Amino acid sequence: MKAVMIIYNQAHNSLVQAALDKCTVRGFTKWPEVQGRGTHKGEPHYGTHAWPSMNMATLAVVEPEKLSILLAELKAINDSAEKQGLRAFVWEAESAI
């Protein structure tokens, strides 16, 4: 199994949910308010008066055969509005209960 952490501007929430649904990824955990800023581009997302936007984060554990399809869907979302920001990180989920 693969763990996928998706961090994205709140504006992408419905698109990320649609990507998970399209890839039949049912289980996930979502954090609705996450602060941060991108590595190279984009504005900070701090939820302050100066930087009012916020990020969200979703963690899903997926079957390896769904991973490339999900990442392609997420890349398409990011490519459509790159300054808003979306990143996905993948690592092994060695065991689960």
Q: Look up the domain containing 72 and give its range.
A: 2-92
Q: Contact, 88 vs 56, CB < 8 A?
A: no
The CATH number that applies at residue 67 is: 3.30.70.120
Q: What is the pLDDT of residues 46-59, one digit of tens each?
A: 999 999 999 999 99
pLDDT of 95 strictly over 90:
no
pLDDT of 2 strictly over 90:
yes
| 66 within a domain of the structure (yes/no) | yes
| 44 within a domain of the structure (yes/no) | yes
Does an H or E element contain 5, and which? strand 2-9
| 97 within a domain of the structure (yes/no) | no
User: Rounded to an integer, what distance in angstroms lies between the CA atom of residue 28 and that of residue 33?
Assistant: 16
Q: What is the pLDDT of residues 5-61, one digit of tens each?
A: 999 999 999 999 999 999 999 999 999 999 998 877 778 889 999 999 999 999 999
Q: Which range in 37-46, 70-79, 81-90 is most confidently predicted, on average pLDDT?
A: 70-79
DSSP for 63-88, please give it: -HHHHHHHHHHHHHHHHHTTTT-EEE
Please tell me the total count of domains within the chain: 1
